[in-house]
Amino acid sequence: MGFDLAGYHVPVKADVPDIHVVLIDKRDPIVNRMGAKGMGEIPLVGFTAAIANAVFHATGELIRELPLTPDKFL
């Protein structure tokens, strides 16, 4: 049985639970000028590796340098 994207479930806004913003009363000037931190970056840690892995499986070319640009596959 082959794999295709026709039956792949793509998450949409209705699939995401409510997001609650919590403000912490402690400034962190090392992060950025505003001193704000975002929790949204945490799930993105493995994102680029997953994309690079998918590109490797699709093309057979293992690219170990970001960003993944077309010229690196030539």
pTM for the complete prediction? 0.42
Which residues have CB under 8 Å from 59's CB, separation 6+?
73
- Output the CA angle 49-72-5, nearest 5 degrees: 50
User: In total, how many domains does the chain have?
Assistant: 1
Q: Check 41, 42, 50, 58 and give the catalytic one.
A: 41
pLDDT digits (tens, 9 = 90+) for 5-49: 677 777 788 887 887 777 777 777 777 777 676 666 666 667 888
pLDDT at residue 1, as a whole number: 53
- Two tokens, residue 40: 């949204």
Q: What is the pLDDT of residue 46?
A: 74
Helices (H), 1-74: 47-59
The yes-or-no answer on residue 41 being catalytic is: yes
User: Which carries the bigger pLDDT value, residue 24 or residue 2?
Assistant: 24
Domain around 29? 5-73
